[in-house]
Chains A and B, each alone.
Chain A
Amino acid sequence: MKLDAKIPSGPIAEKWDRHRFEVKLVNPANKRKFSVIVVGTGLAGASAAATLAELGYKVDAFCFHDSPRRAHSIAAQGGINAAKNYQNDGDSVYRLFYDTVKGGDFRAREANVHRLAEVSRNIIDQCVAQGVPFAREYGGYLANRSFGGAQVSRTFYAAGQTGQQLLLGAYGALSRQIGSGNVKMHTYTEMLDVVVIDGKARGIVTRNLRSGAIESWAADAVLLCTGGYSNVFYLSTNAKGSNVTATWRAHKRGAGFANPCYTQIHPTCIPQSGDHQSKLTLMSESLRNDGRVWVPKQKGDKRASQDIPESERDYYLERKYPSFGNLSPRDIASRAAKEVCDEGRGVGPTGLGVYLDFADAIKRVGESTVAERYGNLFDMYERITGENPYKQPMRIFPAPHYTMGGLWVDYNLMSTIPGLHVLGEANFSDHGANRLGASALMQGLADGYFVIPITLGHYLASNPLEKVDTSHESFKAVENEVREKTKKLMSMKGKRTPDSFHRELGRIMWDNCGMARSTESLKKALQRIPALRAEFWENLNVPGADGDTNQVLENAGRVADFLEFAELMCMDALTREESCGGHFRVEHQTPDGEAKRNDEDFCHSSVWEHQGVGKPATLHKEALVFENVKLTQRSYK
């Protein structure tokens, strides 16, 4: 596996401009001769499919939902960053670039991040033009708020439903192209494999979730926009359907998987209430603009929050990180919460929770202003917990939320399989070891609206592509593999459901490869995962038939892939002998418990090459070169 990041030469601020000039273009009349498959219709997929169709490419888009509008981008709450500097508070492209590299604990590729910061401005323009109803000030201009890891206000938002509004914008653009016949939309269709012919990605094999039909689709290029793998933990803030299948199957066909151990545990989620729990709900980080995080100073203090006097409260984020306070980055805020709970100072029935208190904000700006800013989140909290956050502090606890790791891509967003491009959360590129709040929406849309339309053209114009169709033997071979696997899942008729395996896997991962990882815990997980996987393939029970809607079967296929993927994630965590961002190895910390990087040995992305299930993957390294940002110990004090 050769890793060539193809970073353009020249000063960082000129790289993207230079690249746009240097890439080959496809003549407008020729674009319609090229076909592109887009898998996933979240922010990255919908924006890419729409924009490529506008340019004239023939696009086939796929999603497993009943409508492209239901992709999980819709649930993003807080906002989207952009270096507009509308607030005149010192923001700039360079500052957004710098904040993102630093926030990622110096484990991202500089050139990609700078490009992201540059196009961030165009994203806001585009979305406003589409009719996305961002929050505005009385003068009619766009409003901003602050997010973790930044000292400027650069986050654009639409109440607590920013992801929904941005996705509906992209869905609108996509719908327009579907309506005019430029995109063929395939709903209820799950991608189950990539087809590689002569070393190039030339199509996919899918399963129709209504009829069970296994079908092949050929194209000149394939785009995976299939999100992240937080559901490897079973309980996460992701939607129930979010899965690793598309990227994992591509990995098994030769796409390098980069930094799978970089997972983000979000500090502000509603704590688990019982064993029946099916998912965890995020309370937007934007709440930390006005909410203050605290726990009792006393261990095991069981008094109700209002009975604990001010002097006996520990506002630990403000105490430990005075300059960023409650807006410390996510990895730091999550670990701090874990720390106080480990000390026995956690709150709520399980002791796994900390308070997020709005009493001061309500006193300062009034209940109605707080309601205007966060009303929908407060309502959601009350519906789930039965507690009123206007009257008593919220209880929150960290939960898996986002994955920075993903398929390795070069500057053109192309994986190690030529023709296979990866966008949004599914790739590894821009957030390093920790993503800053409000940057996921930015990246998904940057990739889809502004990057891939340029770089995909370059690939198509510079590679001779033989004409292939789905009658090619490679399609038939992959189809047969997919059919065999489905048949096997259906035929075991054992005793356990896919969900029971998923829960057990999630527990293993959370306990051993979650917020704190050690050699010992990771080795334990690496022992238990293969055993669980072996049991899965003997003792699984999938009722029903495969020729019709069968949600247990859909789930079984996804869990099967998580059971393979989890091993790689632990292996990556074990070999990364340092702490950085969301990856915290207990062996590597500073005397005051902060993450301790090892730039000498680990200033690289770890890219894994598949060698077969149960066999150790081969590690390749992409060295990270920092020409603009100086590597320092990240400090938010």
Chain B
Amino acid sequence: MNITLHVWRQKSAREPGKLVTYKRGDVSPDMSFLEMIDVLNEELAAKGEEPIAFAHDCREGICGSCSMMIDGMPHGPQDLTTTCQLHMRTFKDGAEITVEPWRAAAFPVVKDLIVDREAFDRIIQQGGFVSVNTGNAQDANAIPISKEAADKAFEAAACIGCGACVAACPNASAMLFVSAKVAQMAELPQGQPERYRRAKKMVDQHDAEGFGACRNHYECEAACPKGISVRYIAQLNRDYLKASVAVAEHAGRSSGPG
């Protein structure tokens, strides 16, 4: 296959970037998108030019590292697929493909196609867990959990933290990411004690990081490589509202919302 690539090159966050064009011949349809760039990078390096920096690791669609905006779509045109699992057979011979990094104020560009997503970690640090120290646990079968609830929690927990939802959103909102973690815990009995407090703290951190508000565009769900549903955002909004009321009720007491 012959492919023309327009790739965003940017030396660092401090310097401006631009699209650079690379012509590719001999692209095998069995290559993954990243392997196609690997081959290009090997050629650039052999010429002494700097290869295109891009985030990647597991190349199995699960670590959430890869993060390319391909023709304006996060992870490219194939549904439910991360960039590393996208194969060149998805494109037509002679295609022109534009590759850019995720674009969001809360995800500053590090270099070329790599962005800084540590804002996601900071949101999780505010409550994306059950506060249980090692050794506290009772027997795993002591609390039966219906298969439906377990399956729903699992669906929400499938989020890989790649940030495609943010990249797809006109407001660069990360509400799909936040709501998936909140929903996983909200489905399970273990998540109940901190349910509302978790929703409040994570949303507050989300806002503090500079992500935008959700305006129901649903672009996030369409872009999510794991098919996380926007209904979790609605559920999050309900929990957040309850949490805000609880905060108001508890004002003046020492502990926050339960």
Chain A residues with CB under 8 Å of chain B are 47, 50-51, 54, 65-70, 72, 74-75, 84, 86, 122, 124-131, 133-142, 158-159, 161, 163-165, 168, 171-173, 175-176, 178-179, 185, 187, 210, 239-241, 273-274, 276-279, 281-282, 379-380, 383-384, 386, 449-450, 453, 493, 495-497, 499-500, 541-544, 548-549, 551-552
Shortest CB distance A436–B (Å):
21
Contact B56 A240 (CB under 8 A): yes
B246 at the interface (CB under 8 A from A): no
Residues of A contacting B11 with CB < 8 Å? 548
Of A69, A129, A178, A384, most B-chain CB atoms within 10 Å: A129
**Number of chain B residues whose Cβ lies closer than 8 Å to a Cβ of chain A:** 83
CA distance A75 to B58 in the complex (A): 7
> Which residue of the partner chain A has the closest CB to B46?
A497
CA distance A67 to B163 in the complex (A): 12
Shortest CB distance A428–B (Å):
24
Contact A129 B45 (CB under 8 A): no
Shortest CB distance B83–A (Å):
12
Contact A543 B45 (CB under 8 A): yes
Contact A140 B145 (CB under 8 A): yes
Question: Would you list 26 pairs from A and B whose C-beta atoms are within 8 A, ordered by A residue?
Answer: A65-B63, A67-B118, A75-B58, A122-B137, A128-B137, A130-B132, A139-B144, A161-B62, A164-B158, A172-B128, A175-B125, A175-B128, A176-B131, A239-B59, A276-B39, A281-B59, A281-B60, A383-B61, A383-B78, A384-B85, A386-B30, A386-B87, A449-B134, A543-B48, A548-B111, A552-B51
Contact B124 A161 (CB under 8 A): no
Residues of B contacting A496 with CB < 8 Å? 46
A175-B129 contact, Cβ under 8 Å, with A66-B55, A69-B161, A239-B57: yes
Contact A70 B64 (CB under 8 A): yes
CA distance A125 to B142 in the complex (A): 9
B209 at the interface (CB under 8 A from A): no
A552-B65 contact, Cβ under 8 Å, with A210-B110, A240-B56: no
Contact A172 B31 (CB under 8 A): no
Contact A497 B55 (CB under 8 A): no
Residues of B contacting A274 with CB < 8 Å? 28, 30-31
Contact B140 A164 (CB under 8 A): no
B157 at the interface (CB under 8 A from A): yes
Shortest CB distance B181–A (Å):
9
B137-192 residues at the A interface, CB under 8 angstroms: 137-141, 143-147, 150-151, 153-154, 157-158, 160-161, 184-185, 187-188, 190-191
Contact B65 A66 (CB under 8 A): yes
Residues of A contacting B53 with CB < 8 Å? 549, 551
Contact A276 B65 (CB under 8 A): no
Cβ 8 A contact of B121, one of A51, A67, A141, A544: A67
Contact B141 A86 (CB under 8 A): yes
Contact A380 B85 (CB under 8 A): yes
> Which residue of the partner chain B has the closest CB to A238?
B58
Q: List 8 A-B pairs, minimum CB-CB distance, nearest first.
A: A140-B144, A172-B129, A179-B125, A129-B137, A125-B137, A133-B154, A133-B153, A128-B140
Contact A383 B85 (CB under 8 A): yes
Residues of B contacting A142 with CB < 8 Å? 140-141
Contact B144 A141 (CB under 8 A): yes
Residues of A contacting B154 with CB < 8 Å? 133, 135, 158-159, 165
